[in-house]
Amino acid sequence: MADTTARRYSIGAMIFHWTIAVAVIWNWRLAENAHHTDDRAQAMAIFADHKALGITILVLTVGRLLWRWTHPVPPLPSDLAGWEKALARTVHVIFYVLLIGLPLGGWMANSLNGRDIDFFGLFTIPALPIGTNEDLGGTIFDLHALGGSIFIYLIALHILGALKHTFFDKNGGIFRMLPFGKVPG
């Protein structure tokens, strides 16, 4: 049940949001850098960090979902049009699907290719017990890349929406997810 008196997200929700946001953008840049290097060893090292950060994003997302289910979220601003509310909810659902599906898909594709995941040199995450199938692993890697591209476009849409609501609609927009700034009552 949403707390209809709260206008901002909780500090915990803010920490999860911004930590995951930075991690996702960083992880996208890692993948881009790996794809654009001509040195195979360097690309593999970058992808190792990409995979470890992906697992970190998965764990943070599970934590964020647990937080969300146990802490009320503020209602959407009342001045939003019906289509804006529907779009906001849809994009958020897709975000969660991608935040869980992309890391799991990457882990699955690595597993199908017989690879463990090195977690920043601290420990190894074993391959999922699903056998090997390099063709299927390659297909999942392709879907993973497509999902990552879709995610970046949705992030841009999310940022544009937050800026629109902050500076044009003046309904609090981005300040709902920051501990400062004005959120109108």
41-95 per-position pLDDT tens digit: 999 999 999 999 999 999 999 999 999 999 999 999 989 999 999 999 999 999 9
For residue 37, being part of any structural domain is answered with: yes
pLDDT digits (tens, 9 = 90+) for 137-168: 999 999 999 999 999 999 999 999 999 999 99
For residue 121, being part of any structural domain is answered with: yes
At residue 71, the pLDDT reads 95
Tokens 């906001």 locate to 88
Q: Could you give the CA distance from residue 17 to residue 23 in angstroms, rounded to a whole number?
A: 10
For residue 116, being part of any structural domain is answered with: yes
* Interior angle at CA 102, CA 100 and CA 107, nearest 5: 100
For residue 109, being part of any structural domain is answered with: yes
Domains identified in the chain, total number: 1
Half-sphere CA count of 28, side-chain side, radius 13 A: 16
- What length does the chain have? 185
For residue 58, being part of any structural domain is answered with: yes
Helices (H), 38-128: 40-70, 82-112
Has this prediction a pTM greater than 0.85?
A: yes
Provide the terminal-to-terminal Cα distance of the chain, rounded to the nearest Å: 19
For residue 2, being part of any structural domain is answered with: no
For residue 185, being part of any structural domain is answered with: no
For residue 124, being part of any structural domain is answered with: yes
Q: Can you give the residue range of the structural domain that contains 55?
A: 11-177
